[in-house]
């Protein structure tokens, strides 16, 4: 989860709202009661509004003062869309911020130099999509570059930043942000690797190499308990360029806080994959922004100055923001002969039969297993031999490296918790856990709540390992410490200081976003109850799990569950796109 959960459950919040409404408008409160309950239930599932039929919309138009049209009423009616007033305002304000940034003036570009550099840096036949995206981003102050894993989003951004530096009189102030600590660290590392792949003046290379990935919370300096940011509209971020990775994980509220803090004239580039899971919080920001690229005649002419052979289509009246987006489709990681790539593409296209056939076609990369939690745990223990050797040697770097060799994912938290308990019992059988000890060497931890003082955030992964600075005495925990990866190494922390956390040998697919692993297992139970435990296994969740894997994907479940997931979608209601069109006028 990106934002902290501070609200009541859907039904509890709905009842509280109805009690409040009943205090000043009892008749209207009775009329809106079923719709309020629907709204809060929908909000829990990530929707920002509910659809009404014509009769209900007409009736609620007379439910003032609780229901208003284009006002700050508790409920807002917009045609047949019914919003909680706060969600209507959030999406409306976000649309205005996006339009502000997309219509901002940016510094000019040296056409001739940029043309030559683009030709040099994107010379490969399979780099044309990246080249076109980078060139368009040179022209646009607000840009979305989307694409699946291995399509080169980070490489494109690295070269874009190099181009911006070459076109600037002074080196621009650059911010790198992502929703989670894992994603921010991964982004920074990938960017630094990409910088070594093309020629740059040393001062520019050093400037870009100094860029540090930060969580959005840390960038804005959000502080509890009110979670008010230090940076905002009145005190904008001191940046000239802002790159945001894994943008699909940002909900409406956090994206609004971020964009409000962006100063006029600062370029914004969002990176993400709209086929992945949406944010935990409400909205579907990336999915609402993603669309085919269409350029108007003036933008096409400007782009042709630096890239005469670009591959974008033109239109006389393109949709709003269609010339502020580019999708990368060629995967440098998963080619036509890649099992993971073929499986991911079939799942995205909803081709259930074809997707299942990939397991037979690519047995070295893909497999299907059946078995209970005890069998799963024992098999994982056998595959984690290198990890446990690193644990025994108290080799922090090697332990983190091998912990990601095989990672277990689950659709729901209850499935992850069940596996974690089974694996703990497995470790007890192998003598690695003594009794009911709370902590043990090799334990994988996941932080559950942001702790700004410790610089630890929800979703961060740590390992419990031997502490060489303390000898084991009366308590097992006195010889252990928790370690967390940082940009410049690892941070050691006393176990007693840890914020709220849980064991995470297995985690939910949601929590895995922004990370990649060598091998990925996905646990899929035969029966699923959304009311009991959140999101069902569907296409977005399945695709996200598959694309966390670099080398091998293992599906623990039946063909029926897998193929049902391939054809199941849980699309969210969001009005961001029409609100953007309205804000453009």
Give the model confidence (pLDDT) of 158-167 as tens digits. 999 999 999 8
Q: How far apart are CA 377 and CA 207, in angstroms?
A: 46
Residues making up the binding site for ATP: 147-154
Beta bridge pairs of residue 143? 269
Beta bridge pairs of residue 68? 76
| Distances in whole angstroms, Cα of residue 303 to Cα of each of 94, 111, 115, 411, 473 | 28, 9, 10, 43, 69
Confidence of residue 1 (pLDDT cuts 50, 70, 90): very low
| Contacting residues for 118 by C-beta, under 8 A, at least 6 apart | 131, 134, 135, 163, 306, 307
pLDDT at site 127: 93
- 125 pLDDT more than 90: no
| Contacting residues for 175 by C-beta, under 8 A, at least 6 apart | 211, 214, 219, 237, 239, 241, 242, 243
Domain residue ranges in the chain? 12-93, 104-331, 339-567
Average pLDDT over residues 391-418: 95
pLDDT at site 527: 62
Contact of 484 with 490, CB cutoff 8 Å? yes
Q: How far apart are CA 178 and CA 164, in angstroms?
A: 21
Contact of 572 with 87, CB cutoff 8 Å? no
Q: Which residue has the tokens 């009991």?
A: 532
3-state secondary structure of 571: coil
Closest CA to 146 of 247, 236, 262, 296: 247
81-100 exposure pattern, b = at least 16 Cβ within 10 A, e = fewer: bbbbbebbebbbbbbbbbbb
pLDDT at site 241: 97
Contact of 450 with 3, CB cutoff 8 Å? no
Q: Which two tokens stand for residue 124?
A: 């490969």
Contact of 410 with 416, CB cutoff 8 Å? yes
Greater confidence (62 vs 536) lies with 62
| Distances in whole angstroms, Cα of residue 490 to Cα of each of 211, 251, 400, 442, 543 | 18, 30, 10, 16, 31
3-state secondary structure of 119: helix
pLDDT at site 186: 86
- 552 pLDDT more than 90: yes
Phi, psi of 583 (to 5 degrees): -65, -30
Q: Tens of pLDDT along 247-294?
A: 999 999 999 999 999 999 999 999 999 999 999 899 999 999 999 999
Confidence of residue 9 (pLDDT cuts 50, 70, 90): low
Average pLDDT of the chain is: 91
- Could you say which of 3.40.1190.20, 3.40.50.300, 3.90.1170.50, 3.20.20.150 is the CATH number of the domain covering 104-331? 3.40.50.300
Contact of 353 with 563, CB cutoff 8 Å? yes
Q: How far apart are CA 124 and CA 134, in angstroms?
A: 14
Closest CA to 279 of 289, 294, 264: 289
Least confident among 109-118, 178-187, 381-390, 426-435: 178-187
360-379 exposure pattern, b = at least 16 Cβ within 10 A, e = fewer: eebeebbbbeeeebeebbbb
pLDDT at site 535: 62
Phi, psi of 144 (to 5 degrees): -115, 120
Average pLDDT over residues 185-212: 92
Q: How far apart are CA 275 and CA 222, in angstroms?
A: 29
N-term to C-term CA, the chain: 34
Beta carbons within 10 angstroms of residue 437's beta carbon: 14
Contact of 508 with 409, CB cutoff 8 Å? yes
Does the fold of domain 339-567 match that of domain 104-331? Answer: yes
Residues making up the binding site: 147-154
Q: How far apart are CA 280 and CA 254, in angstroms?
A: 11
- 4 pLDDT more than 50: no
Closest CA to 507 of 150, 5, 1, 47: 1
Q: How far apart are CA 130 and CA 50, in angstroms?
A: 38
Domain 339-567 carries which CATH code?
3.40.50.300
What stretch of H or E contains 327?
strand 325-328
Contact of 95 with 69, CB cutoff 8 Å? no
- Residue 378 has, within 13 A of its CA and on its CB side, a CA count of 5
Contact of 271 with 100, CB cutoff 8 Å? no
Q: Which two tokens stand for residue 519?
A: 């091998």
Q: Which residue has the tokens 């043309």?
A: 115
Contact of 91 with 43, CB cutoff 8 Å? no
pLDDT at site 445: 97
| Contacting residues for 308 by C-beta, under 8 A, at least 6 apart | none
3-state secondary structure of 188: helix
- 532 pLDDT more than 50: no
Confidence of residue 530 (pLDDT cuts 50, 70, 90): very low
How much of the chain exceeds pLDDT 70, in percent? 95
Give the pairing type, strands 142-147 and 228-229: unpaired
């Amino acid at each position: 989860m990106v934002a902290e959960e501070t609200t009541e459950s859907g039904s509890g919040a709905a009842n509280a709202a109805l009690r409040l409404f009943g205090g000043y408008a009892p008749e209207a409160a009775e009329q809106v009661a079923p719709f309020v309950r629907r709204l809060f239930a929908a909000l829990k599932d990530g929707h920002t509004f509910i659809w009404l039929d014509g009769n209900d919309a007409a009736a609620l138009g007379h439910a003032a003062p609780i229901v208003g049209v284009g006002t700050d009423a508790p409920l807002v009616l917009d045609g047949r869309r019914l919003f909680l007033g706060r969600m209507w305002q959030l999406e409306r304000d976000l649309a205005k911020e996006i339009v502000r940034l997309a219509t901002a003036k940016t510094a000019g570009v040296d056409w001739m130099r940029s043309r030559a550099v683009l030709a040099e840096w994107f010379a490969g036949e399979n780099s044309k999509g990246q080249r076109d995206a980078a060139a368009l981003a040179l022209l646009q102050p607000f840009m979305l570059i989307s694409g699946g894993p291995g399509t080169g989003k980070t490489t494109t951004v690295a070269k874009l930043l190099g181009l911006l530096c070459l076109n600037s009189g002074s080196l621009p102030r650059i911010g790198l942000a992502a929703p989670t600590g894992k994603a921010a660290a991964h982004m920074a590392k990938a960017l630094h690797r990409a910088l070594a792949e093309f020629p740059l003046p040393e001062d520019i290379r050093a400037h870009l190499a100094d860029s540090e990935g930060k969580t959005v919370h840390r960038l804005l300096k959000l502080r509890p308990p009110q979670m008010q940011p230090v940076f905002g509209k009145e005190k904008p971020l001191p940046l000239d360029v802002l790159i945001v990775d894994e943008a699909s994980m940002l909900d409406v509220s956090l994206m609004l806080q971020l964009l409000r803090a962006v100063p006029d004239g600062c370029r914004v580039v969002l990176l993400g994959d709209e086929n992945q899971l949406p944010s935990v919080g409400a909205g579907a920001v990336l999915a609402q922004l993603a669309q085919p690229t269409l350029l108007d005649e003036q933008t096409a002419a400007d782009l042709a100055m630096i890239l005469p052979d670009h591959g974008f289509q033109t239109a006389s009246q393109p949709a709003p923001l269609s010339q502020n987006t580019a999708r990368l489709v060629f995967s440098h990681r998963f080619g036509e002969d890649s099992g993971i790539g073929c499986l991911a593409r079939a799942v995205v296209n909803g081709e259930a039969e074809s997707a299942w056939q990939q397991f037979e076609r690519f047995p070295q990369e893909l497999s299907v297993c059946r078995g209970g939690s005890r069998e799963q745990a024992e098999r994982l223990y056998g595959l984690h031999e290198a990890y446990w050797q690193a644990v025994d040697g108290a080799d922090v770097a090697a332990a983190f490296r091998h912990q990601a060799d095989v990672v277990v994912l689950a659709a729901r938290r209850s499935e992850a918790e069940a596996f974690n308990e089974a694996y703990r019992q497995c470790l007890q059988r192998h003598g690695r856990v003594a009794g009911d000890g709370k902590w043990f060497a090799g334990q994988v931890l996941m932080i559950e709540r942001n702790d700004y003082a410790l610089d630890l955030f929800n979703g961060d992964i740590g390992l419990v390992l031997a502490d060489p600075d303390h000898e084991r005495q009366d308590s097992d925990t006195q010889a252990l410490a928790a370690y967390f990866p940082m940009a410049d190494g690892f941070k050691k922390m006393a176990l007693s200081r840890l914020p709220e956390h849980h064991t995470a040998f297995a985690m939910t697919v949601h929590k895995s976003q922004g990370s990649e692993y060598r091998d990925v297992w996905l646990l899929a139970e035969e029966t699923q109850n959304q009311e009991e435990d959140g999101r069902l296994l569907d296409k977005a969740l399945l695709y996200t799990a598959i694309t966390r894997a670099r080398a091998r994907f293992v599906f623990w479940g039946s063909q029926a569950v897998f193929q049902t997931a391939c054809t199941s979608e849980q699309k969210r209601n969001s009005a961001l796109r029409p609100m953007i069109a309205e804000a453009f006028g």
